[in-house]
Chains A and B, each alone.
Chain A
Amino acid sequence: MTISLLLFKATLLLYLATTALYLVDVVKRRAAATLPSRLLMLVGYLVHCATLLARYLELGHTPVTNLYESLSFFVWTVVGVFLLFELRYRLAVLGAFVAGSGSIFMAAGALIGRSGVRELPPVLDHWLFPVHVILAFLGNAVFALAFAAGIMYLVQERLLKSKTFNALYYRLPSLDMLDRINYSCLSFGFPLLTLGIISGSVWAEVAWGSYWSWDPKQTWGLITWLLYAAMLHSRLTVGWRGRRAAIFAIIGFLCLLFSFLGVNLLMDGQHAFSAFEGG
């Protein structure tokens, strides 16, 4: 077993423990569990950092060349962004969601996506590779949080409208806070996504001599970008907020998820992991 695999398993265990602790906080409403949950997640995150570093040293390039690595990298960015958000919004429900879905993503990646090359084709070995990947993944992570906040908004909105005062009503945060999270995600995520696309395009020029080749990933990336651009525009001009913004954030992320996973798994192109295998 390599060091990175060992660390990977440790990370996964820590995230699972974090999920359990956050659930205690949410379900039993033990506020005393909040700080330990946060610290445990931070520890998990630091071990995750070490995992990626070890993997990087083993491979000699940024570890995102197969599904297993990509999902782990994705979860790393989501947790990192969440920890930053936690400084401002104290959200145990979101913590349980992030740690829980993160663990699932990582476990799934480890189960189905371990195959794939270790060698990076020389044509891709360029400093723009990590830059592009990190920007794109950070954008994804921020939008993943907007997605989670969007779902929570729709649920809380429905409860308030239908006057249903169940356990969720007491545990979910206020509509205003969820909408503010949505907006700040959008205002951080959009520039990240834009830079991710631009850096990818520049890198494509260096690698293949063309800025844009209508590769499926590029196409879907562009569609997603247009969607988020429309969302930002309507919020700033017409004042689309609340429920509409929440729905938009959910659709936007599904689109993003498709360009991230669906394209890689279902379609051919320079971004598909199969492309690496072909050399």
Chain B
Amino acid sequence: MHILVVGLSHKTAPVAMRERVAFQPATIGDSLQAMRDLPSIAEAIIVSTCNRVELIACSRTADEAERELVHFMADHHEIPLEELEPHLFQYQGADAIRHLFRVSSSLDSMVLGEPQILGQIKSAYNTSVEHKSVGLILNRFLHKAFSVAKRVRTETEIASNAVSVSFAAVELARKIFDDLTNKTVLLIGAGEMCELAARHFVNNGVTKVLVTNRTFARAEKLAQEFEGSPIPFDTFHEELHRADIVLSSTGADEPVLTREHIAGAIKQRKYKPMFLIDIAVPRDIAPEANDLDGVYLYDVDDLQGVVAANLKEREKEVTKAEAIIEEEIGQFANWLAALDVVPTIKALRERFDEVRQSELDKALSSLSHLGDKERNAVKAMTLAMMNKMLHQPMTVLKKAQNGDNGSEFVDAIRTLFDLPSPDTGEDTTS
């Protein structure tokens, strides 16, 4: 059996093309059925997201199946083949396995390491299970892809280090305060980004939220959301020293916090550090405040700098992730190759013959009074017994070779008789 992937992604096709080939969730059952009905396709999965559309299949005849999948994609969406084909990638065997492992590990995503893609593939797989368009091979393939993705996530740092500005702020705070529990956040003004960052802080242990706004009613409302306390805008400077983290985004033209305000607050705090995040443009906090001992002032550009650095850190992990994937391809390819009927029949015969030989030797050594003629008769009898017993399973296997469920018989036989996998390296096309 061969594994195939045909599709397109944000790397090969513009959004205008991607939206034309997207499969609609409402009719996905019919689409799966149509794909499954293609003459050379044995099992089928359709992954359709805004960044990629992929047909995953397995078939006995790889090249034919590939052609059918390309035509299916074009016909199903009524796009001329010449227009579609330049955007398609087509993978078979080890390349197809590598492709799905990379995609589910988020190595192929627009934002490297983002976690959504794995969820999307899982739900595409579940849909195929519901519509009974997958069998032994794609079941095993997809589960393997999920476990590879998990390995990559835990064994590399591909998904660590924030790639959003608001989460980067939380990580920076951790580099200053270590633990965020019992820390106090002061929100000045109300912007969407400010609120989002505040929510991240609260989710990561911050317990106290102070809110101030020129319109006190808005401060009260926002404070309620965070179970914090509102502070009148006129007097918030007096409370500044209580804040470990300040998030500011007012619409003011002049800085709301001067260097002097902050110098006073930090002294009152006995130089316990303060982390100031200025999301406003024009800026709310005087930039010179960063020079004060124990004060760490970040504006939007600084935060974007962290995000860029974090992305670079993720890129460094790609090699590590790819090494894991190569290792797993080998394992899966071995399993797949073992599903071939001929080597299985051979292995089964060998296993039986092994048992026959060792039992025969044991028996003959305690029957030393037998002559050569008798010995040969005993030998012939064991051989005949073995052949008779193997006859029926072998006939079934040979017949199944040409049907869709042959792999299931092979897998069952290999498990029942504990047959070793043939060592075939990465070659899945054998």
Contact = CB atoms under 8 A, between A and B. Distances in A.
Interface in A156-203: 156, 160-161, 163, 165-166, 169-170, 173-177, 180
A242 B309 contact: no
A243 B294 contact: yes
A239 B305 contact: no
Q: Which 5 A-B pairs have the closest CB atoms?
A: A239-B270, A165-B309, A176-B178, A174-B178, A177-B178
Contact of A243 (B178, B179, B293, B302): B293
A181 to B, nearest CB: 11
B174 interface: yes
Contacts of B294: 242-243
Given A160-B176, A174-B177, A242 B273 contact: yes
Contact of A175 (B157, B176, B293, B310): B176
A173 B174 CA distance: 9
23 contacts: A160-B176, A161-B290, A163-B302, A163-B305, A165-B305, A166-B309, A174-B175, A174-B177, A175-B177, A175-B178, A176-B176, A176-B273, A180-B178, A239-B272, A240-B271, A241-B270, A241-B271, A241-B272, A242-B273, A242-B293, A243-B293, A244-B271, A244-B293
Interface string B223-266: 00000000000000000000000000000000000000000000
Given A161-B290, A165-B309, A243-B293, A174 B174 contact: yes
Interface residues of B, number: 24
Contacts of A244: 271, 293
Tier of interface size on chain A:
20 to 34
Interface in A192-242: 238-242
Nearest to B172: A160
A156 B175 contact: yes
Contacts of B270: 238-239, 241
Among A170, A173, A243, A244, chain B packs the most CB atoms within 10 A around the CB of A170
- How would you classify the secondary structure of chain A's contact residues: helix, strand, loop or mixed? helix
B177 A176 contact: yes
B353 interface: no
Contacts of A175: 175-178, 273
Given A238-B270, A241-B272, A161 B296 contact: yes
A29 interface: yes
B178 A160 contact: no
B426 interface: no
B273 to A, nearest CB: 6
Interface string B281-316: 000000000100110101000100110011001000
Given A29-B157, A170-B313, A239 B177 contact: no
Interface of A: 29, 156, 160-161, 163, 165-166, 169-170, 173-177, 180, 238-244
Contacts of A239: 270-272
Contacts of A173: 178
Given A160-B296, A174-B176, 16 more contacts: A29-B157, A166-B309, A169-B309, A173-B178, A174-B174, A174-B177, A174-B178, A175-B176, A175-B177, A176-B178, A176-B179, A176-B273, A180-B178, A239-B270, A241-B272, A244-B293
Interface string B157-189: 100010000000000101111110000000000
Contact of B306 (A165, A176, A180, A243): A165
B374 to A, nearest CB: 62
Contacts of A180: 178
A238 to B, nearest CB: 7
Contacts of B179: 176
A226 to B, nearest CB: 23
Nearest to B302: A163
